[in-house]
Homo-oligomer: A and B are copies of this chain.
Amino acid sequence: MNGLKIDENVIRYIIGNPINTDAVILDTNKIKTDRSYSLKYLDIDEDGNLNYYMSDNDIIYGLGENVRGLNKRGWIYESFCTDEYSHTPNKRSLYGAHNFFVVHGKENFGIFIDSPSKVIFDIGYTDHNKIKITCENQNYGLYIIEGNSLNDIVKEFRMLIGESYIPPKWALGYGQSRWGYGTETEAREVIRKFKENDIPLEMLYLDIDYMERFKDFTVDRTAFPSFEGLVDDCMDEGVKVIPIIDAGIKVEEGYPIYEEGVEGGYFCTDKDGDPFVTAVWPGKVHLPDFLNSRARKWFGEKYKILTDKGIEGFWNDMNEPALFYSDKGLESAFKRAEEIKKENIDVYSYFELKDNFNKLANSIDDYKSIYHNVDGELINHYDVHNLYGLNMTKATYEGLENIDENKRFLLFSRASSVGMHRYGGMWTGDSFSWWEHIELTMKMLPALNMCGFMFIGSDTGGFAGDTTSDLLIRWNQLSLFTPLYRNHTSRWSRSQEPYAFDEGTTKIIKNIIRFRYSLIPYLYSELMKCIKNNDLYFKPLTFEYEDEFSKEVEDQLILGNSLMIAPMYKQNSKGRYIYLPEKMLLCKLNHEGKLLFEVCNEGSKFFHCLLEETIFFVRKNRILPLVESENKVKDLSLKELNLIAFVDKKAEYTLYDDDGITKECKKNKFNLVKVVIEKISNKYELKIEKAENTALKKINVVIYDLEGRKETILREL
């Protein structure tokens, strides 16, 4: 197998005749055709599997949204977008297909499998020290990516796949959601309760409840008689209403979207060319053929129905695509049940009976019966399964771009594959209200960043099952740091709004959310710089620290330039062990919402952290900018900055900001403030460089040195 260098550190190998997945968008004119390269690092066996032999200490990072650790060793993962609601460690696929990972050890490099079909990553599952990659479809691109560091390797990959989706700045505010805000009255009650409790609320998400019998781009006028009034009233309160859009279109005469779709030939078909019938929330549906550019255009335009009502953001769901059943599947399940009924049911027919209807969902047979029309070419869905969610969100993105090309809309999706990161963010799907899922979320975050997914977050408090007040608090203490900060739960779960428990809980969560708003300028600055520079917002410690022990750490993350986080994820614990690879400044948000500081030595230690306390760290020679908290992102003022600095010799921080709502930022028009704090002959000097149009008028700096001595500098500009 021979490859070509397509960039200084990237060799691309083409196996078979792959279709274009929209993942890699690097200008191929740049391909360096000096010579061809034989397969590096890997060997390929007679069955076409790619093999790599790990040494005992090799770490494998990546594979995006998946179960298990930061280090993916010791399990087998399948890239095959799956509506998998229970993220237990025996699962192999979740909603995304994220075929990039890096090997960190005796050799350091990245691998990306550019395939729209199922890829199996056996990372030491069959053989403890062997990686085996199996591409079901032997037409794919293989990228071997090198670099001087883990960061460089990832950066190189990110350059291949293009700039990530940029959310509006307000999307970093706090959002409340629930499958089950079933009426306008309930929705208004949520708004009222947030106001009554003086808890910041930026977005109210609506799940499928708002639609008329789950039909996209409709409103249930019984439950939401004045949907437009709700949107307007929310707008008056500074709250955006963010509705869900599902992939399937209800089969119903008279429903315009259905009729247009049939007429325009915009739906996926069966092998005979008839629209394929499957079923999701509305009952029987057709699936828009998002791989078809005409269908994408058509579907994208539909969003205007809702933007015309004042909607500025959407979440795309069920786009793996999730299938509840097909007519064919259902029929044969009923038939089999009939047969079993006549038998004396024994153990195996009992299991079959139980699974008979369960197995209807997301059946491979159904996926293999669906066809796409890609520019006239009929392609079986199974072969391009992982592109469906990507192309739905691409349709939305392009549709919204047509509605207002300079406006940033909020957009995120459940299903995804590499490439979709350019069109929207994503959330980690239907987590459970389990402590383990705080931990799991934490582990997904850097792996998602590696694939370009920057606007990400989880269902704070857990989606399925019943949360508890302590779990909700601890989960908020993690979500506080994720770009997407949303509390969402299921129709079948107990309420979990910040005010759903006792007063004490409300107060604690309110403190966390209020602190989030103080932190948004930093989080937004880091998010935007990471998008611009193809950097990671969340990183394992090893990406920044080269000591041996950092390799062991699975439950702490570097957040942007300045912070390290170490979330609490054990019930009833009053603290946890944290490893500091260097001296750091502990920041503790206490029960009064006040931030306390303490210089901590490097090494491992048990840090106390009661339920009402949130802790995180400022790294050595780094600066954290904070602002006065407000109830809305738009009200956050950058006139006055509070800098928390932990400085030995010299620290600098560049604060990025922009208008937050237009795409001007793409043209590199943004406001910067650069702050440098340097210790010169035992005295701190503060230098400030600011761009012309910056609002900044005042800077309050609190500097801690390595011995914990505190100094303050106030500077008016």
Tell me if A630 is interfacial: C-beta within 8 Å of chain B. no
Known: A128-B470, A337-B337, A606-B604. A71 touches B572 (CB 8 A): yes
A303 and B73 CA atoms in complex are apart in Å by 47
Q: Using an 8 Å CB-CB cutoff, how does the interface string of A341-365 with B read, 1 for contact, 0 for none?
A: 1001111001001101110110000
Q: Which residues of B contact A69 (CB under 8 A)?
A: 570-572
Tell me if A325 is interfacial: C-beta within 8 Å of chain B. yes
A182 and B283 CA atoms in complex are apart in Å by 43
Known: A128-B505, A577-B604. A347 touches B284 (CB 8 A): no
A552 and B577 CA atoms in complex are apart in Å by 11
Tell me if A543 is interfacial: C-beta within 8 Å of chain B. no
Are B283 and A344 in touch, CB under 8 angstroms? yes
A356 and B333 CA atoms in complex are apart in Å by 13
Q: Which residues of B contact A71 (CB under 8 A)?
A: 571-572
Q: Which residues of B contact A466 (CB under 8 A)?
A: 90, 125
A549 and B279 CA atoms in complex are apart in Å by 55
Which parts of A585-617 form the interface with B (CB within 8 Å)?
604-606
Tell me if A471 is interfacial: C-beta within 8 Å of chain B. yes
Are A88 and B552 in touch, CB under 8 angstroms? no
A337 and B466 CA atoms in complex are apart in Å by 29
Are B128 and A501 in touch, CB under 8 angstroms? yes
CB-based nearest B residue for A340: B334
Are B88 and A88 in touch, CB under 8 angstroms? yes
CB-based nearest B residue for A57: B574
Q: Using an 8 Å CB-CB cutoff, how does the interface string of A276-303 with B read, 1 for contact, 0 for none?
A: 0001111110000000000000000000
A280 and B351 CA atoms in complex are apart in Å by 11
Tell me if A575 is interfacial: C-beta within 8 Å of chain B. yes
Tell me if A515 is interfacial: C-beta within 8 Å of chain B. no
A554 and B571 CA atoms in complex are apart in Å by 10
Tell me if A412 is interfacial: C-beta within 8 Å of chain B. no
Q: Which residues of B contact A88 (CB under 8 A)?
A: 86, 88, 432, 434
Q: Using an 8 Å CB-CB cutoff, how does the interface string of A475-509 with B read, 1 for contact, 0 for none?
A: 00000000000000000000000000110110000
Tell me if A469 is interfacial: C-beta within 8 Å of chain B. yes
Q: Which residues of B contact A436 (CB under 8 A)?
A: 89, 436
The minimal Cβ–Cβ distance linking A361 to chain B, given in whole angstroms, is: 8
Q: Which residues of B contact A575 (CB under 8 A)?
A: 552
Are A334 and B341 in touch, CB under 8 angstroms? yes
A557 and B465 CA atoms in complex are apart in Å by 30
Which parts of A264-323 form the interface with B (CB within 8 Å)?
279-284
Are A435 and B358 in touch, CB under 8 angstroms? no
Are B470 and A74 in touch, CB under 8 angstroms? yes
Tell me if A468 is interfacial: C-beta within 8 Å of chain B. yes
Query: How many of chain A's residues have a CB under 8 angstroms from any CB in B?
Result: 71
A579 and B354 CA atoms in complex are apart in Å by 47
Known: A213-B346, A574-B552. A127 touches B279 (CB 8 A): no
Which parts of A414-455 form the interface with B (CB within 8 Å)?
432-436
A69 and B572 CA atoms in complex are apart in Å by 8
Tell me if A226 is interfacial: C-beta within 8 Å of chain B. no
Q: Which residues of B contact A571 (CB under 8 A)?
A: 68-69, 71, 73-75
Known: A334-B341, A572-B69, A577-B577. A325 touches B350 (CB 8 A): yes
Are B554 and A346 in touch, CB under 8 angstroms? no
Tell me if A38 is interfacial: C-beta within 8 Å of chain B. no
Q: Which residues of B contact A279 (CB under 8 A)?
A: 345, 350
Which parts of A454-473 form the interface with B (CB within 8 Å)?
464-466, 468-471
Q: Which residues of B contact A579 (CB under 8 A)?
A: 606
CB-based nearest B residue for A573: B552
Tell me if A165 is interfacial: C-beta within 8 Å of chain B. no
Q: Using an 8 Å CB-CB cutoff, how does the interface string of A86-128 with B read, 1 for contact, 0 for none?
A: 1011100000000000000000000000000000000011011
The minimal Cβ–Cβ distance linking A520 to chain B, given in whole angstroms, is: 30
Known: A74-B471, A350-B325. A502 touches B284 (CB 8 A): no
Q: Which residues of B contact A334 (CB under 8 A)?
A: 337, 341
Tell me if A324 is interfacial: C-beta within 8 Å of chain B. yes
Are B432 and A468 in touch, CB under 8 angstroms? no
Tell me if A143 is interfacial: C-beta within 8 Å of chain B. no
Which parts of A235-291 form the interface with B (CB within 8 Å)?
279-284
A704 and B142 CA atoms in complex are apart in Å by 58
A505 and B129 CA atoms in complex are apart in Å by 12
Q: Using an 8 Å CB-CB cutoff, how does the interface string of A543-585 with B read, 1 for contact, 0 for none?
A: 0000001001010000000000000001111110101000000
Are A465 and B347 in touch, CB under 8 angstroms? no
The minimal Cβ–Cβ distance linking A8 to chain B, given in whole angstroms, is: 32
A572 and B89 CA atoms in complex are apart in Å by 14
Tell me if A210 is interfacial: C-beta within 8 Å of chain B. no
Tell me if A224 is interfacial: C-beta within 8 Å of chain B. no
The minimal Cβ–Cβ distance linking A600 to chain B, given in whole angstroms, is: 15
CB-based nearest B residue for A606: B604
Set B89, B124, B574: member contacting A435, Cβ < 8 A: B89
The minimal Cβ–Cβ distance linking A68 to chain B, given in whole angstroms, is: 7
Tell me if A214 is interfacial: C-beta within 8 Å of chain B. yes
A326 and B349 CA atoms in complex are apart in Å by 15
The minimal Cβ–Cβ distance linking A447 to chain B, given in whole angstroms, is: 14
Most central of A213, A282, A468 by chain B CB within 10 Å: A468
Q: Which residues of B contact A346 (CB under 8 A)?
A: 213-214, 281-283
The minimal Cβ–Cβ distance linking A464 to chain B, given in whole angstroms, is: 8
Q: Which residues of B contact A356 (CB under 8 A)?
A: 357
A346 and B358 CA atoms in complex are apart in Å by 16
Are A90 and B570 in touch, CB under 8 angstroms? no
The minimal Cβ–Cβ distance linking A267 to chain B, given in whole angstroms, is: 19
The minimal Cβ–Cβ distance linking A284 to chain B, given in whole angstroms, is: 7
Are B347 and A281 in touch, CB under 8 angstroms? yes
Are B75 and A128 in touch, CB under 8 angstroms? no
CB-based nearest B residue for A578: B577
Are B468 and A127 in touch, CB under 8 angstroms? no
A-B contact pairs, 15 of them (CB 8 A): A69-B570, A71-B571, A73-B572, A74-B471, A74-B572, A89-B434, A90-B464, A128-B470, A128-B501, A213-B346, A283-B346, A330-B345, A354-B360, A357-B357, A552-B574
Known: A127-B502, A283-B350. 12 other contacts (CB 8 A): A74-B471, A74-B572, A75-B571, A128-B470, A128-B502, A213-B346, A282-B347, A283-B347, A325-B350, A334-B341, A552-B573, A552-B575
The 4 closest A-B pairs by CB, nearest first: A90-B465, A577-B577, A283-B346, A89-B434
